Amino acid sequence: MRIRNWSIRAKIILLVVPPLVSLLALWIFATAVLLGPALDLLDVQTNRDQASLPAAAVINDLQKERAKSLVFIGGKRSDPGPLTAQRHQTDSSALDFRTRATGDEMSKATDDLGRQRIRDAVNALARLSDGRLNVDRGVLDRAATFDLYSSIIDSVIRVFSSPSTDALLTRTTTTLITLGKAAELTSQEDALVNGAAAAGALSEAEPARLAAIIAAARYVYSEVGLEFVDADKAAYDELMKGGSVQRLRTLEDRLMSSAKPGQALPIDIVVWRSTFATVNEELRTFEFDAAARLVVATTPHATAIFVRVILVAVFGLLAFVVSTLLTIRIGRSVVRRLTGLRQTAQSLADVRLPGVVRRLRDGDEVDVVEETPPLEFGGDEIGEVGKAFQAVQRSAVESAVQEARLRRGLNEVFLNIARRSQTLLHRQLSMLDKMERAAEADELEDLFRIDHLATRMRRHAEDLVILAGAAPGRGWRNPVPMVDVIRGAVSEVEDYSRVELLAIPPASLVGRAVADVIHLLAEVIENATSYSPPHTQVRISGEIVPNGLAVEIEDRGLRMTADALAAANDRLRQPPDFDPGNSAQLGLLVVSLLAARHGIRVTLRVSPYGGVTVVVLVPPALIEKTPAALPAAPVALSPAALVSEVTEDGLPRRRRSSTPVESTLADASDEPAPRSPEEVRDMMSSLQAGLRRGRRDAETIEDSP
């Protein structure tokens, strides 16, 4: 679907939605970016309480159990009491770690990587039971036992992580984790030394291993000192320069220089244990104090970040809401004004202008100013379009008024010309009547032809009257038999001799519709004779139907196409406006106007014999049944056939039709019998007398009020 075909509302929505969505996305992104560090800072306390402290306790107990296990193995497994007690302590701290580190609170406070590290630590602690069993059975020596506990401790140490994107918090947390790894290296020294002391001598690999661990620990301690800042750095430097650490380093130096495989330790084990315990406690105290200071320091930092997040969220949301409200208000205003302009245009095109034209056709006066009220759509471009449209609608209404006046004037011209022509034709018919009375028999035929031409000219003059919207001058007060109405219509057709009248039902037409129905049928019959070959007959029949009386006029001419037939039926159902520029089908327009005046339905359909059948359905309101009907045999009609004669008391009276062609009730296939000159003369005299009586009665009816 092309955007240019979208509605104004859809285009405005398409115009404003992307910026609003972008603003909303930017607000969400900024809030999320600022909210992440704040949430990380708040998660520090949760990580410390639920994971870091329990993990530190487990590591401390595992380190003690590692040292006692090596002592147990080095002492030939003679005294399991201290090891068993330490194992119970380790199990208690491990259970506390599993419970708190895998709980819902910790799960919400850490990410996927943190949860995976916790699972790894829990799985590593699960290996402790099998390792203890192997230690008790003598399956593991001191080196294997050392590696087992060291790997488990390493898995638990990895639980410690930096949960924040804040630079200072990340640096301090990472430094504390590194310090814990250094303390683990010192604990490994203690385990090896205690194991060798219990065994009475160092193993083959232990001197080298001790030297490597001591060197690694010293390197890590030196690197850690460079990472601390402010108060933590001062406390750490003081710790490293303290007497306990220095005594421990002296003992380490002696181990690295004098320890030999298979020989006893070159140091006093009691001094080592005392010194290590002091240094280990000082390191743990420093580590816990530094962590506590970190939590305290992050609280105002987290608060400040949260304040920024709230400010960004509030002002961003406020900006989005204000932008949305302004956009909706401006968009609705534009849409409402454009919609109003569109509705005004549609109202003018569909309602007001057709109504003005209809009122003008009805003869009403129209005030152009009242019909084109001012359009107020503001002073911007839309308002200018409204003003331009107001000028257009005023011009359209004025044009409609002028056209209606022109049309009215044209109708008056038609009506004036038609009335004058009718007057002249009436005078001509009167003169012909006088001439027919005085003429000889051999001159009557020509006079009858002239009389018939005058009758047809009168019908054409009535066409102008009908197109002008007026009623013809002829009129009947009483019902007229339908057969006489049809005969009267045939008498106004030029090629009347080709018309064959079949059975007509016993019914009469009300007087007010006689003239119009005669004219309507004459137009249809004239068309049938004009568009069919001259050797063919046009057949007329009638039948009473539930919806009135149907008269069928069937010709044997050329068949109309389906499109032409549909177009003609549309014009007959709904009379179009008279267009002087299209005079090719004036007869069809006259028929549709007459049919619409009396509610008559005229329908064209294809005849099964070729040509067209016209069905004229006269409604029941115009029909009165009579006791007699025309027989089914065909009847030839003459040009002077009377429509009806009216007696002095106003009742219709049928007259015998006089015709130059034999009128019989015999079968249509019988040939007419030849007439003698005397019979022809008598017939012409009777026809002349009938014409005079019919015209006299018709003039009397037309002149009556």
Q: Which amino acid is at 212?
A: A
User: CA 194 to CA 269: how far, in whole Å?
Assistant: 7
DSSP 3-state assignment of 655? coil
DSSP 3-state assignment of 83? helix
User: CA 385 to CA 305: how far, in whole Å?
Assistant: 54
Contacts of residue 303, Cβ cutoff 8 Å, sequence gap at least 6 = none
Is pLDDT of 17 > 60?
Answer: yes
Give me the DSSP letters along 372-396.
Answer: S------SSHHHHHHHHHHHHHHHH
Q: Return the pLDDT at 647.
A: 38
Q: What does the block give as tokens for 356?
A: 């003005």
Q: Return the pLDDT at 600.
A: 93
Q: Which helix (H) or strand (E) covers residue 649, if one does?
A: none
Q: Return the pLDDT at 651.
A: 35
User: CA 165 to CA 111: how far, in whole Å?
Assistant: 13
How many residues comprise the chain?
705
Average pLDDT for the chain? 76
Q: What does the block give as tokens for 409?
A: 């004037």
Is pLDDT of 331 > 60?
Answer: yes
Contacts of residue 299, Cβ cutoff 8 Å, sequence gap at least 6 = 41
Q: Return the pLDDT at 92.
A: 93
Is pLDDT of 631 > 60?
Answer: no
Q: Return the pLDDT at 643.
A: 38
Is pLDDT of 89 > 80?
Answer: yes
Q: What are phi and psi of 117, to 5 degrees?
A: -65, -40
Percent share of the chain, pLDDT over 70: 67
Q: Return the pLDDT at 698.
A: 52
User: CA 11 to CA 16: how far, in whole Å?
Assistant: 9
Q: Return the pLDDT at 636.
A: 39
User: CA 705 to CA 702: how far, in whole Å?
Assistant: 8
Q: Give the up-direction half-sphere exposure of residue 159: CA atoms within 13 A in the CB hemisphere.
A: 33
Beta-sheet strand order (sheet of 538-545): 499-501, 538-545, 548-554, 612-618, 601-606
Lowest mean pLDDT among 19-33, 424-438, 571-585, 643-657: 643-657
* Closest by CA position to 485, among listed 641, 614, 320: 641
CA 361 and chain centroid, separation = 42
Q: Return the pLDDT at 571.
A: 85
* Closest by CA position to 271, among listed 260, 261, 279, 282: 279
Q: Which helix (H) or strand (E) covers residue 545, if one does?
A: strand 538-545
DSSP 3-state assignment of 58? helix
Lowest mean pLDDT among 108-112, 420-424, 611-615: 420-424
Percent share of the chain, pLDDT over 90: 18
Angle between helices 128-137 and 53-74 (to 10 degrees): 10
User: CA 358 to CA 393: how far, in whole Å?
Assistant: 17
* Closest by CA position to 388, among listed 374, 399, 401: 374
Q: Are 501 and 630 in contact (CB under 8 A)?
A: yes
Q: Is residue 668 very low, low, confident or very high in pLDDT (cuts 50, 70, 90)?
A: very low
Is pLDDT of 680 > 50?
Answer: no
Highest mean pLDDT among 24-33, 375-384, 694-703: 24-33
Q: Return the pLDDT at 315.
A: 76
Is pLDDT of 591 > 50?
Answer: yes
Is pLDDT of 424 > 50?
Answer: yes
Domains of the chain: 3-318 (no CATH), 474-703 (3.30.565.10)
DSSP 3-state assignment of 694? helix
Contacts of residue 702, Cβ cutoff 8 Å, sequence gap at least 6 = 473, 474, 475
User: CA 201 to CA 187: how far, in whole Å?
Assistant: 19
Q: What does the block give as tokens for 215?
A: 């060197």
DSSP state for residue 504 in the 8-state scheme? B
Q: Return the pLDDT at 618.
A: 94
* Closest by CA position to 56, among listed 146, 145, 179, 180: 180
pTM score? 0.45
User: CA 421 to CA 428: how far, in whole Å?
Assistant: 10
Q: Return the pLDDT at 443.
A: 64
Kind of pairing between the strands at 612-618 and 623-625? unpaired
> What does the pLDDT average to over 207-214?
91
Span 129-156, pLDDT tens digits: 999 999 988 898 989 999 999 999 999 8
Highest mean pLDDT among 156-160, 246-250, 449-453: 246-250
Tokens 């034209």 sit on residue:
357
User: CA 61 to CA 118: how far, in whole Å?
Assistant: 18
Q: Give the up-direction half-sphere exposure of residue 577: CA atoms within 13 A in the CB hemisphere.
A: 10
Q: Return the pLDDT at 171.
A: 74
Q: Is residue 9 very low, low, confident or very high in pLDDT (cuts 50, 70, 90)?
A: low
Is pLDDT of 165 > 60?
Answer: no
Tokens 């008056």 sit on residue:
412
User: CA 140 to CA 147: how far, in whole Å?
Assistant: 10
User: CA 501 to CA 504: how far, in whole Å?
Assistant: 8
Is pLDDT of 208 > 80?
Answer: yes
Q: What are phi and psi of 439, to 5 degrees?
A: -80, 160
Q: Return the pLDDT at 460.
A: 65
Lowest mean pLDDT among 206-220, 289-303, 483-497: 289-303
Report CA-CA distances (Å) from 199 to 68, 255, 273, 685: 12, 16, 16, 169
Q: Is residue 175 very low, low, confident or very high in pLDDT (cuts 50, 70, 90)?
A: confident
Q: Return the pLDDT at 525.
A: 92
Q: Which helix (H) or strand (E) covers residue 209, if one does?
A: helix 206-227
Q: Return the pLDDT at 633.
A: 37
Beta bridge partners of residue 645, listed in sequence order: 653
**Given phi > 0 = left and psi -120 to 50 = alpha, else beta, which region is 138?**
left
User: CA 63 to CA 194: how far, in whole Å?
Assistant: 12
Q: Which helix (H) or strand (E) covers residue 120, if one does?
A: helix 112-126
Span 195-205, pLDDT tens digits: 899 888 989 99
> What does the pLDDT average to over 176-186?
86
User: Any alpha helices (H) in 468-561, and if so which ranges?
Assistant: 482-491, 511-530
Lowest mean pLDDT among 259-268, 275-284, 373-382, 629-638: 629-638
Kind of pairing between the strands at 499-501 and 538-545? parallel
Is pLDDT of 532 > 70?
Answer: yes
- Can you give the C-alpha Rg of the chain in angstroms? 61
Q: What does the block give as tokens for 342?
A: 């569109």
CA-based torsion, 96, 102, 108, 113: positive or negative: positive
Give me the DSSP letters along 572-628.
Answer: HHSPPPP-TT--TTHHHHHHHHHHHHHT-EEEEEE-TTSSEEEEEEE-GGGEEE-S-
Q: Is residue 689 very low, low, confident or very high in pLDDT (cuts 50, 70, 90)?
A: low
Q: Are 528 and 553 in contact (CB under 8 A)?
A: yes
Q: Is residue 207 very low, low, confident or very high in pLDDT (cuts 50, 70, 90)?
A: very high
Q: Return the pLDDT at 682.
A: 52
Span 456-490, pLDDT tens digits: 666 666 666 666 666 665 667 889 999 999 998 88
End-to-end CA distance of the chain: 68
Give me the DSSP letters along 457-470.
Answer: HHHHHHHHHHHTT-
Q: Return the pLDDT at 648.
A: 39
Kind of pairing between the strands at 652-653 and 645-646? antiparallel
Span 339-394, pLDDT tens digits: 777 777 777 777 777 777 777 666 677 676 766 666 666 666 667 777 776 677 77
Span 481-492, pLDDT tens digits: 999 999 988 888
Q: Is residue 664 very low, low, confident or very high in pLDDT (cuts 50, 70, 90)?
A: very low
Q: Are 97 and 55 in contact (CB under 8 A)?
A: yes
Q: Is residue 549 very low, low, confident or very high in pLDDT (cuts 50, 70, 90)?
A: very high
